[in-house]
Amino acid sequence: MDGFYKELLSYNLKFLFLKMENDLLITTEKDYQEIMIAIFELMEKGEDYLTTEEVKQLKRMTAAAEKYENEYL
């Protein structure tokens, strides 16, 4: 993955963290795709390199993605 896409993914992840102060609810395909990109980015970082906050956000995102998949896909 080139630098442009890594920077874009990083921006998306930071933006999503700002949106996730409360429970995360995915209601559109676009939100779902953005969450999946953010999840992928964190997984690429590696479990041993995640901060406590990133682990919490990853759990919230995966729970929201699973709920969306069960309800809409």
| Spans of all domains in the chain | 3-72
- Locate 53 and state its tokens: 């906050």
* pLDDT class of 6 with cuts at 50, 70, 90: low
pLDDT at 30 over 50: yes
Amino acid at 22: N
- At 34-57, the pLDDT tens digits run 899 989 989 999 989 998 988 988
Number of C-alpha atoms within 13 angstroms, CB side, residue 49? 6
* Cα separations in angstroms, 70 against 2, 11, 16, 48, 59: 33, 28, 21, 29, 17
* Residue-level pLDDT at 21: 54
Residue 46 has phi, psi (to 5 degrees) of 100, 135
